[in-house]
Amino acid sequence: MSARPPGRIAYVNARLLDPASDLDARGSLLTDGEVIVDVGSNLFAGGVPSGIEVIDCHGACLAPGLVDMRVELREPGEEHKETLRSAGEAAVAGGITSMVCLPNTKPVIDDVATVEFVARRARKIGLAKVYPYAAATKGLEGQELAEIGMLAEAGALAFTDGTKAIRNAQVMRRALSYAATFGVIIVQHPEEPSLADGGAMNEGEMASRLGLAGITPAAEAIMLERDMRLVEVTGGRYHAAHLSTAEGVAIVRRAKERGLPVTCDTAPPYFALNELAVSGYRTFAKLSPPLRTEADRQAVVQAIADGVIDAIASDHAPQDQDSKRLPFAQAAFGGIGLETLLAVSLELFHNGHLSLLQVIERLSWAPARLLGLGAGRLKAEAPADLVVFDPERAWRVNSDKMRSKSKNSPFDGRPVQGMVLRTVVDGRAVFTADA
Protein backbone atom coordinates (compact mmCIF):
# COMPACT_ATOMS: atom_id res chain seq x y z
CA MET A 1 0.00 0.00 0.00
CA SER A 2 1.43 3.36 -1.04
CA ALA A 3 2.21 5.68 1.87
CA ARG A 4 1.88 8.75 -0.34
CA PRO A 5 -1.69 9.56 -1.39
CA PRO A 6 -2.24 9.99 -5.14
CA GLY A 7 -2.32 13.51 -6.52
CA ARG A 8 -4.81 14.98 -8.98
CA ILE A 9 -5.69 12.60 -11.81
CA ALA A 10 -7.89 13.35 -14.84
CA TYR A 11 -9.68 10.50 -16.62
CA VAL A 12 -10.51 11.77 -20.11
CA ASN A 13 -12.22 10.37 -23.25
CA ALA A 14 -14.42 8.12 -21.13
CA ARG A 15 -17.98 6.88 -21.42
CA LEU A 16 -19.20 7.89 -17.97
CA LEU A 17 -21.68 5.49 -16.35
CA ASP A 18 -23.27 6.61 -13.08
CA PRO A 19 -26.46 4.69 -12.27
CA ALA A 20 -27.21 6.87 -9.24
CA SER A 21 -27.74 9.90 -11.49
CA ASP A 22 -28.67 8.07 -14.73
CA LEU A 23 -25.55 9.49 -16.36
CA ASP A 24 -24.45 7.74 -19.55
CA ALA A 25 -22.40 10.21 -21.58
CA ARG A 26 -18.97 10.98 -22.94
CA GLY A 27 -16.93 13.02 -20.52
CA SER A 28 -14.16 13.25 -17.95
CA LEU A 29 -13.63 12.75 -14.25
CA LEU A 30 -11.15 14.33 -11.84
CA THR A 31 -9.87 12.75 -8.64
CA ASP A 32 -7.72 14.31 -5.95
CA GLY A 33 -6.22 11.92 -3.44
CA GLU A 34 -8.91 9.51 -2.27
CA VAL A 35 -11.98 11.35 -3.56
CA ILE A 36 -13.72 12.39 -6.76
CA VAL A 37 -13.55 16.16 -7.25
CA ASP A 38 -15.63 16.67 -10.39
CA VAL A 39 -17.28 14.71 -13.18
CA GLY A 40 -19.20 15.63 -16.32
CA SER A 41 -19.49 15.91 -20.07
CA ASN A 42 -17.97 19.41 -20.23
CA LEU A 43 -15.18 18.86 -17.73
CA PHE A 44 -11.81 19.76 -19.35
CA ALA A 45 -13.55 20.99 -22.51
CA GLY A 46 -10.76 23.53 -22.78
CA GLY A 47 -8.04 20.99 -21.99
CA VAL A 48 -6.55 19.58 -18.81
CA PRO A 49 -4.60 22.14 -16.74
CA SER A 50 -0.90 21.50 -16.18
CA GLY A 51 0.13 19.62 -13.05
CA ILE A 52 -2.64 17.03 -13.37
CA GLU A 53 -1.85 13.44 -14.38
CA VAL A 54 -3.93 12.42 -17.41
CA ILE A 55 -5.29 8.95 -18.06
CA ASP A 56 -6.86 8.58 -21.51
CA CYS A 57 -9.68 6.01 -21.39
CA HIS A 58 -9.83 5.86 -25.23
CA GLY A 59 -13.64 5.64 -25.20
CA ALA A 60 -13.84 2.85 -22.60
CA CYS A 61 -16.50 2.89 -19.88
CA LEU A 62 -15.71 4.57 -16.56
CA ALA A 63 -18.05 3.49 -13.77
CA PRO A 64 -18.15 3.25 -9.98
CA GLY A 65 -16.16 0.27 -8.71
CA LEU A 66 -18.34 -2.80 -8.20
CA VAL A 67 -19.71 -3.58 -4.73
CA ASP A 68 -19.87 -7.35 -4.21
CA MET A 69 -22.26 -8.02 -1.35
CA ARG A 70 -21.67 -11.78 -0.96
CA VAL A 71 -18.13 -13.15 -0.72
CA GLU A 72 -16.57 -15.98 1.27
CA LEU A 73 -13.00 -14.96 2.05
CA ARG A 74 -11.86 -18.04 4.07
CA GLU A 75 -9.49 -15.94 6.20
CA PRO A 76 -9.13 -16.46 9.10
CA GLY A 77 -9.01 -20.26 9.32
CA GLU A 78 -8.94 -21.68 5.79
CA GLU A 79 -6.16 -19.75 4.12
CA HIS A 80 -5.33 -22.75 1.91
CA LYS A 81 -8.58 -21.99 0.02
CA GLU A 82 -8.36 -18.18 -0.11
CA THR A 83 -6.78 -15.28 1.73
CA LEU A 84 -7.70 -11.64 2.02
CA ARG A 85 -4.78 -10.89 -0.32
CA SER A 86 -5.64 -13.47 -3.00
CA ALA A 87 -9.32 -12.51 -2.87
CA GLY A 88 -8.33 -8.84 -3.06
CA GLU A 89 -6.20 -9.46 -6.14
CA ALA A 90 -9.02 -11.41 -7.80
CA ALA A 91 -11.56 -8.73 -6.86
CA VAL A 92 -9.68 -5.78 -8.32
CA ALA A 93 -8.95 -7.79 -11.50
CA GLY A 94 -12.73 -8.10 -11.77
CA GLY A 95 -13.43 -4.40 -11.19
CA ILE A 96 -14.64 -4.94 -7.60
CA THR A 97 -13.57 -2.21 -5.19
CA SER A 98 -15.70 -3.24 -2.18
CA MET A 99 -16.43 -6.75 -0.88
CA VAL A 100 -18.77 -7.76 1.92
CA CYS A 101 -17.63 -11.01 3.48
CA LEU A 102 -19.70 -13.75 5.07
CA PRO A 103 -19.03 -14.65 8.71
CA ASN A 104 -18.37 -18.37 8.16
CA THR A 105 -14.66 -18.17 8.86
CA LYS A 106 -12.72 -19.97 11.60
CA PRO A 107 -13.25 -18.43 14.11
CA VAL A 108 -16.73 -17.26 13.12
CA ILE A 109 -17.20 -13.49 12.84
CA ASP A 110 -19.49 -13.27 15.86
CA ASP A 111 -17.51 -10.97 18.15
CA VAL A 112 -16.09 -7.47 17.97
CA ALA A 113 -12.45 -8.63 17.82
CA THR A 114 -12.98 -10.68 14.65
CA VAL A 115 -14.97 -7.89 12.96
CA GLU A 116 -12.08 -5.52 13.66
CA PHE A 117 -9.44 -8.07 12.54
CA VAL A 118 -10.98 -8.44 9.07
CA ALA A 119 -11.30 -4.70 8.52
CA ARG A 120 -7.78 -3.96 9.82
CA ARG A 121 -6.15 -6.75 7.76
CA ALA A 122 -7.90 -5.63 4.55
CA ARG A 123 -6.80 -2.02 5.10
CA LYS A 124 -3.20 -3.16 5.53
CA ILE A 125 -3.28 -5.12 2.25
CA GLY A 126 -4.70 -2.09 0.42
CA LEU A 127 -6.57 -3.78 -2.44
CA ALA A 128 -10.38 -3.99 -2.49
CA LYS A 129 -12.11 -2.66 0.61
CA VAL A 130 -13.60 -5.37 2.83
CA TYR A 131 -16.65 -4.97 5.04
CA PRO A 132 -17.79 -7.86 7.25
CA TYR A 133 -21.19 -9.31 7.89
CA ALA A 134 -21.46 -10.65 11.42
CA ALA A 135 -23.10 -13.90 12.43
CA ALA A 136 -26.77 -13.61 13.28
CA THR A 137 -26.40 -16.44 15.82
CA LYS A 138 -23.42 -17.35 18.00
CA GLY A 139 -21.11 -19.78 16.25
CA LEU A 140 -23.59 -19.95 13.32
CA GLU A 141 -25.36 -22.60 15.38
CA GLY A 142 -28.82 -21.13 14.94
CA GLN A 143 -29.70 -21.15 18.63
CA GLU A 144 -28.60 -18.00 20.45
CA LEU A 145 -28.54 -14.55 18.85
CA ALA A 146 -25.18 -12.83 18.54
CA GLU A 147 -24.66 -9.38 20.11
CA ILE A 148 -26.32 -7.56 17.23
CA GLY A 149 -26.19 -4.04 18.67
CA MET A 150 -22.55 -4.26 19.73
CA LEU A 151 -21.44 -5.85 16.43
CA ALA A 152 -23.29 -3.23 14.38
CA GLU A 153 -21.47 -0.52 16.37
CA ALA A 154 -18.14 -2.27 15.63
CA GLY A 155 -18.78 -2.08 11.88
CA ALA A 156 -20.77 -5.17 10.88
CA LEU A 157 -22.92 -4.15 7.90
CA ALA A 158 -25.65 -6.77 8.35
CA PHE A 159 -26.28 -10.12 10.03
CA THR A 160 -26.43 -13.59 8.54
CA ASP A 161 -25.59 -17.19 9.24
CA GLY A 162 -23.83 -17.23 5.88
CA THR A 163 -24.29 -20.45 3.96
CA LYS A 164 -26.66 -21.80 6.63
CA ALA A 165 -30.31 -20.89 6.85
CA ILE A 166 -31.59 -19.57 10.16
CA ARG A 167 -33.81 -22.61 10.54
CA ASN A 168 -35.51 -21.95 13.89
CA ALA A 169 -38.54 -19.70 13.34
CA GLN A 170 -38.44 -18.27 16.87
CA VAL A 171 -34.76 -17.35 16.49
CA MET A 172 -35.49 -15.71 13.13
CA ARG A 173 -38.38 -13.80 14.65
CA ARG A 174 -36.09 -12.47 17.41
CA ALA A 175 -33.37 -11.61 14.88
CA LEU A 176 -35.83 -9.62 12.78
CA SER A 177 -37.14 -7.83 15.89
CA TYR A 178 -33.59 -6.80 16.80
CA ALA A 179 -33.04 -5.76 13.19
CA ALA A 180 -36.05 -3.46 13.43
CA THR A 181 -34.71 -1.97 16.69
CA PHE A 182 -31.16 -1.34 15.47
CA GLY A 183 -31.97 -0.53 11.83
CA VAL A 184 -29.88 -3.41 10.45
CA ILE A 185 -30.60 -6.14 7.88
CA ILE A 186 -30.92 -9.89 8.37
CA VAL A 187 -29.56 -11.75 5.34
CA GLN A 188 -30.98 -15.24 4.85
CA HIS A 189 -29.77 -18.24 2.86
CA PRO A 190 -33.33 -19.20 1.84
CA GLU A 191 -33.34 -22.96 1.93
CA GLU A 192 -35.35 -25.21 4.26
CA PRO A 193 -32.49 -27.37 5.60
CA SER A 194 -34.42 -30.61 6.09
CA LEU A 195 -35.48 -30.52 2.42
CA ALA A 196 -31.92 -29.91 1.25
CA ASP A 197 -30.00 -32.32 3.50
CA GLY A 198 -28.31 -35.03 1.48
CA GLY A 199 -29.14 -33.43 -1.87
CA ALA A 200 -26.46 -32.74 -4.47
CA MET A 201 -28.26 -30.93 -7.34
CA ASN A 202 -31.67 -29.67 -8.43
CA GLU A 203 -34.42 -32.26 -8.03
CA GLY A 204 -35.94 -33.47 -11.28
CA GLU A 205 -35.41 -35.51 -14.40
CA MET A 206 -31.74 -34.55 -14.74
CA ALA A 207 -30.93 -35.66 -11.17
CA SER A 208 -32.75 -38.95 -11.76
CA ARG A 209 -30.81 -39.53 -14.97
CA LEU A 210 -27.48 -38.87 -13.20
CA GLY A 211 -28.49 -40.96 -10.19
CA LEU A 212 -28.02 -38.04 -7.79
CA ALA A 213 -30.14 -37.04 -4.80
CA GLY A 214 -32.10 -33.88 -5.57
CA ILE A 215 -32.82 -30.64 -3.70
CA THR A 216 -36.40 -29.58 -4.32
CA PRO A 217 -37.07 -25.99 -5.44
CA ALA A 218 -39.72 -26.02 -2.70
CA ALA A 219 -36.88 -25.74 -0.15
CA GLU A 220 -36.35 -22.15 -1.28
CA ALA A 221 -40.04 -21.32 -1.49
CA ILE A 222 -40.96 -22.76 1.91
CA MET A 223 -38.24 -20.84 3.75
CA LEU A 224 -39.13 -17.61 1.95
CA GLU A 225 -42.85 -18.00 2.70
CA ARG A 226 -42.10 -18.55 6.38
CA ASP A 227 -39.76 -15.59 6.54
CA MET A 228 -42.20 -13.25 4.79
CA ARG A 229 -44.71 -13.98 7.57
CA LEU A 230 -42.06 -13.17 10.19
CA VAL A 231 -41.13 -9.92 8.43
CA GLU A 232 -44.81 -9.00 8.49
CA VAL A 233 -44.98 -9.69 12.23
CA THR A 234 -41.76 -7.87 13.19
CA GLY A 235 -41.21 -5.16 10.58
CA GLY A 236 -37.53 -6.15 10.44
CA ARG A 237 -35.46 -5.59 7.27
CA TYR A 238 -34.85 -8.84 5.42
CA HIS A 239 -32.61 -9.71 2.49
CA ALA A 240 -32.84 -13.02 0.60
CA ALA A 241 -29.52 -14.12 -0.90
CA HIS A 242 -28.94 -15.82 -4.26
CA LEU A 243 -32.51 -16.41 -5.46
CA SER A 244 -32.54 -19.36 -7.85
CA THR A 245 -36.15 -20.36 -8.56
CA ALA A 246 -39.18 -18.94 -10.33
CA GLU A 247 -41.27 -19.63 -7.22
CA GLY A 248 -38.78 -17.83 -4.95
CA VAL A 249 -38.88 -14.80 -7.26
CA ALA A 250 -42.69 -14.82 -7.18
CA ILE A 251 -42.75 -14.86 -3.36
CA VAL A 252 -40.39 -11.88 -3.10
CA ARG A 253 -42.36 -10.05 -5.80
CA ARG A 254 -45.59 -10.43 -3.81
CA ALA A 255 -43.88 -9.32 -0.58
CA LYS A 256 -42.57 -6.18 -2.26
CA GLU A 257 -45.99 -5.43 -3.73
CA ARG A 258 -47.38 -5.55 -0.19
CA GLY A 259 -44.75 -3.04 0.94
CA LEU A 260 -42.74 -5.37 3.17
CA PRO A 261 -39.11 -4.28 3.87
CA VAL A 262 -37.68 -7.09 1.74
CA THR A 263 -34.79 -7.06 -0.75
CA CYS A 264 -32.89 -9.80 -2.56
CA ASP A 265 -29.95 -10.64 -4.80
CA THR A 266 -28.88 -13.36 -7.16
CA ALA A 267 -25.55 -14.50 -8.59
CA PRO A 268 -24.35 -14.99 -12.19
CA PRO A 269 -24.71 -18.80 -12.19
CA TYR A 270 -28.46 -18.48 -11.63
CA PHE A 271 -29.05 -16.27 -14.67
CA ALA A 272 -26.28 -17.55 -16.93
CA LEU A 273 -26.35 -21.33 -16.29
CA ASN A 274 -28.93 -24.04 -15.71
CA GLU A 275 -28.76 -27.59 -14.36
CA LEU A 276 -27.35 -28.86 -17.68
CA ALA A 277 -23.98 -27.45 -16.54
CA VAL A 278 -23.80 -30.39 -14.12
CA SER A 279 -23.68 -32.84 -17.05
CA GLY A 280 -20.65 -35.10 -16.88
CA TYR A 281 -20.74 -34.72 -13.07
CA ARG A 282 -18.92 -31.36 -13.25
CA THR A 283 -18.27 -30.60 -9.59
CA PHE A 284 -17.32 -26.98 -10.40
CA ALA A 285 -21.04 -26.57 -11.18
CA LYS A 286 -22.10 -27.98 -7.79
CA LEU A 287 -23.40 -24.86 -6.09
CA SER A 288 -25.62 -23.94 -3.16
CA PRO A 289 -28.42 -23.33 -3.99
CA PRO A 290 -28.09 -25.73 -6.93
CA LEU A 291 -28.37 -24.70 -10.56
CA ARG A 292 -32.03 -24.96 -11.56
CA THR A 293 -34.09 -25.52 -14.70
CA GLU A 294 -34.07 -23.32 -17.79
CA ALA A 295 -37.50 -21.96 -16.78
CA ASP A 296 -36.08 -20.93 -13.40
CA ARG A 297 -33.10 -19.28 -15.09
CA GLN A 298 -35.39 -17.26 -17.34
CA ALA A 299 -37.51 -16.19 -14.35
CA VAL A 300 -34.37 -14.94 -12.58
CA VAL A 301 -33.33 -12.95 -15.69
CA GLN A 302 -36.81 -11.38 -15.86
CA ALA A 303 -36.72 -10.51 -12.15
CA ILE A 304 -33.37 -8.75 -12.55
CA ALA A 305 -34.73 -6.83 -15.53
CA ASP A 306 -37.90 -5.66 -13.78
CA GLY A 307 -36.18 -4.83 -10.48
CA VAL A 308 -37.65 -7.53 -8.24
CA ILE A 309 -34.07 -8.74 -7.78
CA ASP A 310 -32.24 -5.71 -6.42
CA ALA A 311 -28.59 -6.65 -6.82
CA ILE A 312 -26.14 -9.10 -8.36
CA ALA A 313 -23.38 -10.57 -6.15
CA SER A 314 -20.60 -13.00 -7.03
CA ASP A 315 -21.44 -15.54 -4.29
CA HIS A 316 -17.69 -16.28 -4.36
CA ALA A 317 -17.14 -19.60 -2.56
CA PRO A 318 -13.58 -20.88 -3.05
CA GLN A 319 -12.95 -24.61 -2.54
CA ASP A 320 -9.61 -26.39 -2.86
CA GLN A 321 -8.97 -29.32 -5.20
CA ASP A 322 -9.32 -31.87 -2.40
CA SER A 323 -12.87 -30.59 -1.76
CA LYS A 324 -13.93 -30.55 -5.44
CA ARG A 325 -12.13 -33.48 -7.10
CA LEU A 326 -14.40 -36.04 -5.51
CA PRO A 327 -17.44 -38.02 -6.68
CA PHE A 328 -20.20 -35.44 -7.28
CA ALA A 329 -22.29 -36.40 -4.23
CA GLN A 330 -19.30 -35.98 -1.89
CA ALA A 331 -17.82 -32.81 -3.45
CA ALA A 332 -18.16 -29.48 -1.65
CA PHE A 333 -20.68 -26.87 -2.82
CA GLY A 334 -19.51 -23.53 -4.22
CA GLY A 335 -17.80 -21.71 -7.06
CA ILE A 336 -15.43 -18.77 -7.37
CA GLY A 337 -16.81 -15.66 -9.03
CA LEU A 338 -14.86 -12.46 -8.36
CA GLU A 339 -13.03 -12.18 -11.69
CA THR A 340 -16.06 -13.22 -13.76
CA LEU A 341 -18.72 -11.11 -12.00
CA LEU A 342 -18.68 -8.18 -14.44
CA ALA A 343 -18.12 -10.14 -17.67
CA VAL A 344 -20.88 -12.69 -17.02
CA SER A 345 -23.28 -9.98 -15.79
CA LEU A 346 -22.67 -8.07 -19.04
CA GLU A 347 -24.37 -10.96 -20.85
CA LEU A 348 -27.61 -9.38 -19.59
CA PHE A 349 -26.66 -6.30 -21.63
CA HIS A 350 -25.35 -8.14 -24.69
CA ASN A 351 -28.51 -10.30 -24.78
CA GLY A 352 -30.79 -7.25 -24.59
CA HIS A 353 -32.30 -7.81 -21.14
CA LEU A 354 -30.80 -4.71 -19.45
CA SER A 355 -29.12 -1.50 -20.51
CA LEU A 356 -25.44 -1.10 -19.69
CA LEU A 357 -26.35 1.44 -17.00
CA GLN A 358 -28.81 -1.02 -15.43
CA VAL A 359 -26.18 -3.76 -15.25
CA ILE A 360 -23.77 -1.40 -13.50
CA GLU A 361 -26.57 -0.31 -11.14
CA ARG A 362 -27.22 -3.90 -10.00
CA LEU A 363 -23.48 -4.39 -9.43
CA SER A 364 -22.60 -1.13 -7.66
CA TRP A 365 -25.14 1.49 -6.64
CA ALA A 366 -27.89 -0.98 -5.62
CA PRO A 367 -25.79 -3.06 -3.18
CA ALA A 368 -24.07 0.08 -1.83
CA ARG A 369 -27.45 1.70 -1.21
CA LEU A 370 -28.86 -1.44 0.43
CA LEU A 371 -25.97 -1.71 2.87
CA GLY A 372 -25.51 1.99 3.55
CA LEU A 373 -22.08 2.27 1.96
CA GLY A 374 -20.85 5.53 0.45
CA ALA A 375 -19.72 3.68 -2.67
CA GLY A 376 -21.29 3.00 -6.04
CA ARG A 377 -21.57 6.44 -7.59
CA LEU A 378 -19.64 9.05 -9.56
CA LYS A 379 -20.07 12.36 -7.78
CA ALA A 380 -17.99 15.01 -6.08
CA GLU A 381 -16.72 13.97 -2.62
CA ALA A 382 -17.53 10.28 -3.23
CA PRO A 383 -14.66 7.81 -2.77
CA ALA A 384 -12.44 7.55 -5.87
CA ASP A 385 -13.32 3.85 -6.30
CA LEU A 386 -13.56 3.32 -10.06
CA VAL A 387 -13.49 0.73 -12.81
CA VAL A 388 -12.53 1.33 -16.45
CA PHE A 389 -13.73 -1.46 -18.74
CA ASP A 390 -14.38 -2.35 -22.37
CA PRO A 391 -17.85 -3.97 -22.58
CA GLU A 392 -17.10 -5.47 -26.00
CA ARG A 393 -13.65 -7.00 -25.43
CA ALA A 394 -13.93 -10.80 -25.63
CA TRP A 395 -11.98 -13.36 -23.61
CA ARG A 396 -12.36 -16.94 -22.43
CA VAL A 397 -12.61 -17.90 -18.76
CA ASN A 398 -9.66 -20.06 -17.75
CA SER A 399 -9.74 -21.30 -14.15
CA ASP A 400 -6.01 -21.99 -14.15
CA LYS A 401 -5.31 -18.30 -14.74
CA MET A 402 -7.65 -17.03 -12.02
CA ARG A 403 -5.99 -15.03 -9.25
CA SER A 404 -8.05 -16.75 -6.56
CA LYS A 405 -6.17 -19.45 -4.68
CA SER A 406 -8.96 -21.86 -5.56
CA LYS A 407 -9.83 -22.54 -9.20
CA ASN A 408 -13.40 -23.87 -8.97
CA SER A 409 -15.15 -21.62 -11.51
CA PRO A 410 -18.50 -22.86 -12.85
CA PHE A 411 -17.74 -20.71 -15.93
CA ASP A 412 -14.42 -22.39 -16.78
CA GLY A 413 -14.01 -22.41 -20.57
CA ARG A 414 -16.90 -19.99 -21.22
CA PRO A 415 -16.38 -17.22 -23.80
CA VAL A 416 -17.40 -13.84 -22.33
CA GLN A 417 -17.46 -10.18 -23.38
CA GLY A 418 -16.33 -7.39 -21.11
CA MET A 419 -12.81 -6.78 -19.88
CA VAL A 420 -11.61 -4.72 -16.92
CA LEU A 421 -8.81 -2.36 -17.99
CA ARG A 422 -8.16 -0.48 -14.75
CA THR A 423 -9.42 -0.61 -11.17
CA VAL A 424 -8.93 2.31 -8.79
CA VAL A 425 -9.39 2.24 -5.00
CA ASP A 426 -9.18 5.51 -3.05
CA GLY A 427 -7.59 7.14 -6.10
CA ARG A 428 -4.84 4.52 -6.44
CA ALA A 429 -4.64 2.23 -9.47
CA VAL A 430 -4.66 -1.25 -7.90
CA PHE A 431 -5.09 -3.14 -11.19
CA THR A 432 -4.25 -2.42 -14.81
CA ALA A 433 -4.78 -4.95 -17.59
CA ASP A 434 -1.89 -6.13 -19.70
CA ALA A 435 -1.75 -4.22 -22.96
**Which residues participate in catalysis according to the annotation?**
315
The closest of 347, 360, 350 to 388, measured between CA atoms, is 360
20 within 8 A of 368, measured Cβ to Cβ: no
393 within 8 A of 268, measured Cβ to Cβ: no
- Three-class SS of residue 162? coil
- Count of residues making up the chain: 435
How many other C-beta atoms lie within 10 A of the C-beta of residue 340?
27
| Spatial distance between the Cα atoms of 123 and 117, rounded to a whole number of angstroms | 10
The closest of 258, 256, 253, 260 to 234, measured between CA atoms, is 260
At residue 147, what are phi and psi to the nearest 5 degrees?
Answer: -80, 80
Which amino acid would we find at residue 104? N
Report, in this order, helix, strand and coil percent for the chain, each rounded to 5: 35, 25, 45
Helix (H) or strand (E) holding 15: strand 8-18
Within 13 Å and on the Cβ side, how many CA atoms surround 354?
27
The closest of 281, 350, 291 to 315, measured between CA atoms, is 291
DSSP strand pairing (61-64 vs 129-132)? unpaired
User: What value, to the nearest 5°, has the Cα angle with vertex 43 and ends 41 and 46?
Assistant: 115
